[in-house]
Amino acid sequence: MRQSITLALATIAGVFAAPTTYSHVGGNSTIEGQGDFFWGGAVQEGPQGTGWNFVQGSVVVPNFKGGDPRQSANMWVGIDGRYCSSAILQTGLVAYGDGSFWLWTEWWKNEMQNYESGLTFSPGDTLRFTVHAQSTTSGTTTVENLSTGQWVSENYTSENDFPLCETDAEWILEDWTQGGVPVPLYNWGTISIFDTIAKNPNGQVTAAGADIVNININGQTLTQSNVQSDGTRYFEQGSLTRLPPSAEKAITPFEVHIPQKRTKTPLRIDSPQDIHFVSLFSEKKDAIPLILLHGWPGNFLEFLPILELLRNNYTPETLPYHVIVPSLPGYAFSSPPPLDRDFRTGDVARIFNRLMQDLGFGNGYVVQGGDIGSKVARAMAVEYESCKVNYCIMPEPQGIVDTLSQPEKQGLKRTADFVRLGSSYALQQATKPSTLSFALASNPLSLLAWIGEKFLDWTDKDPPMDTILESRFTSGNVGTHEDPKSHINKPFGFSWFPKELAPTPRSWAATTGNLVFYRQHDAGGHFAAMEQPEVLLQDIQEFISQVWE
């Protein structure tokens, strides 16, 4: 079960001098619960040599202000500290009464310190704290903002003066001291440290069954700590807990008013394909044709923010691009793929290349895509001379040296987590799509439950309801490209977003073709055109300025 530690603070009485510097108590002045105890929470313990080498927990950044900045409370996770007072590897968040915060890391008994690179966060963001001891004298602390995809870390090496015992795994709320005297403890009310994990060589546990400790100062117990399960298993329940707030919107009728077109494009002589697209045409003579391709579970609505930016920034006479946003076959108002033969990404590429030719852009165009759209873009770049490409996903290459940056490594971890915990939907859709379609097409709430969780999990922020529910028009599916490793002999670019399902490292991208543009961003995910339209548009424009002649 998913475990959380709930710490409720009692009203704090007494006023202490505001210190100019703060310090941890470290080993508390207590034996078996007797005497002052300056921190409270949960401790998983074991005899020396148990080998707790990994502790993790998450908190939601509290939202308060207007209090006394001299008051504070300190939440952290760490290894050792209760029964082993020779060292503590820990990281945490200090909250002050005025609503300010301090993110810190420490190998105690060394001094606490800031992370070398700052981490941006706001009230309501979820921060995940991790300490990982590679040995008793080396380790790493990491803080991740799960709401933005950003993170910071600190490495410790050769801490021979203060070796860990690795006997305690801890999730803690602490008061500060100065000269052994506690400072004013800010009342956080109730704070939950959730998604608790502790690892040793024998396996992994949560905070369940941990010893409970409460802050006790001058005979007054100031916290009420407990470990509770919120009923969520490690394999999460999915949409169940997030569906109710969106249900009313899902069953309320809505209309989408946008300019749109349909055109027939030959798939083969006896089987024309109806392709729906939205467009923004320029009156500029040298305007560059640009086709933008969505994926699953997206649709053409993803790109409307980019079209609005272009419409607001340019007049028809100055617009530098002809922008075409088609719906993939079987999506929105495009007709579904044929059922009497195999239909693959290469077929979609051929249809869209023909679409661009029929629109008068046979002399050259730029294509951008994400998810399935990126595979179509790759196929168009490989097969058709008039195509240049900027796309978003590619496979792992073979035989390259591991020169990955830390954000890229975090991205690959996200990929592994997705494959293990979030990819089963694809197998169902690929093998029994009709079975699923009857259940989803009968009710918009069913569709919301299936698709909505993807938009929530794969993005930095919740998308508009109509963007999710437009997918109810989808009546088909698109297969995979026969050869995803086809080498691109055209200039191509890549925009890296941290909450993408499979954020591709630069070194991997460079093995697949003529990479001329690569940019890494701090925010954004699988639906970049919708989440970060200004950022993606700027990338596309810079890429085009480099490659278009």
Is the CB of residue 511 less than 8 Å from the CB of residue 504?
no
Is the CB of residue 277 less than 8 Å from the CB of residue 324?
yes
Which positions are annotated as active-site residues? 174
- Count CB neighbours of 232 within 10 A: 16
β 88-96/72-79 pair status? antiparallel
Is the CB of residue 40 less than 8 Å from the CB of residue 206?
no
| Angle CA 275–281–286, to nearest 5 | 120
Residue spans of beta strands (DSSP E) within 363-438: 365-369, 387-391
d(CA 93, CA 106): 12
As given in the structure block, the two tokens for residue 179 are 């000269």
SS3 189: coil
| DSSP secondary structure of 204-222 | EE-STTPEEE--EETTEE-
CA 347 from centroid of its chain's CA atoms: 32
Is the CB of residue 119 less than 8 Å from the CB of residue 152?
yes
Contacts of 399 (CB under 8 A, 6+ apart): none
| DSSP secondary structure of 293-312 | E--SS--GGGGHHHHHHHHH
β 513-520/387-391 pair status? unpaired
CA 242 from centroid of its chain's CA atoms: 17
Going across the sheet that includes 488-496, the strands are 261-268, 271-280, 321-326, 288-293, 365-369, 387-391, 488-496, 513-520
As given in the structure block, the two tokens for residue 23 are 């310090």
d(CA 511, CA 398): 9
10: alpha, beta or left? (left if phi > 0; alpha if psi -120 to 50): beta
Side-chain half-sphere exposure of 514, counting CA atoms within 13 A: 12
SS3 520: strand
Backbone angles phi, psi at 221, to 5 degrees: -85, 120
Side-chain half-sphere exposure of 138, counting CA atoms within 13 A: 4
The amino acid at residue 294 is H
Contacts of 450 (CB under 8 A, 6+ apart): 239, 425, 436, 440
d(CA 200, CA 206): 12
Q: Which of 497, 491, 490 is nearest to 520 (CA)?
A: 497
